[in-house]
Amino acid sequence: MINRRQFIRNTALAGAALGSAKLLAKPAAAEKSLPAPITALKSMKDQARPISKEERRQRIERARELMATNKLDAMLMCGGTSLVYFSNIEWWLSERFFGMVLPAKGNPFYVCPAFERDRAMEQIAEGPLDKDPDVRTWQEDENPYELVVQG
C-alpha cells in the first residue's frame, strides 16, 4: 500500500514531467504564423550600451530639479528599481534596511547595516556617487530610520 509521502512525491514527479514536456516542445506553429515584417526584424543587441556613471549623474540632477520644482526636500530609495536607476546598486528588500537618501541640496548618503558595509562600498564604487561616499551604518540593536531622520 502506498503511503501519503510516496503519493505526494509521485504526484509531484508526474506533474514536473508533464510540465517539462510542454516547456521543451518547440512552438514551430507560432513561428510560422508571424507576419513577414516581424520575422524580417534583425537583432539590435549589439547596439545596446551599458548605462554610464555620467548618465546616472544626469538622472540625479534631473531628480533634484524636479524635487525643487515640487518643493520636496529629499528622496529615500531602498532596495529595488529606483535604487538601481539612480545609483546602480542592486540591493533587494529584506528585514534589514538599506537605503540611499538623495537630498534636493547637499550630499547624498547611504544607511546600511554595519555587517553589510563592505558589500555596500563595493556596489557604491560602481555607481555615480563613488567619490567619498557617506555611509551611515547601524547595529542590530539600533533603529536605522533614526539615521535617515538625522541626515
Which pLDDT score, from 0 to 100, does residue 7 have? 72
Mean pLDDT of residues grouped by 10 in the chain (151 residues)? Answer: 76 71 61 85 93 96 98 95 95 93 96 96 93 95 95 83
Q: DSSP of 69-122, one letter per residue?
A: HTT--EEEEETTHHHHHHH-------SS--EEEEESSS--EEEEEGGGHHHHHH
CATH class of 53-150: alpha beta
Q: How far is CA 52 from CA 3, 36, 56, 91, 126, in A?
A: 59, 36, 6, 19, 10
Which pLDDT score, from 0 to 100, does residue 48 have? 93
Which pLDDT score, from 0 to 100, does residue 10 have? 76
Q: What nine digits make up the cell of 14?
A: 508526474
Which pLDDT score, from 0 to 100, does residue 12 have? 76
Q: Which residues, in sequence order, are bridge partners of residue 112?
A: 137
Paired sense of beta strands 135-138 and 109-113, if any: parallel
Q: What nine digits make up the cell of 109?
A: 548618503
- Asked if residue 124 lies in contact with residue 89, where contact means CB atoms within 8 angstroms, the answer is yes
The pTM score is 0.70
| Extents of the domains making up the chain | 4-47, 53-150
Which pLDDT score, from 0 to 100, does residue 60 have? 97
Q: How far apart are CA 60 and CA 102, in angstroms?
A: 8
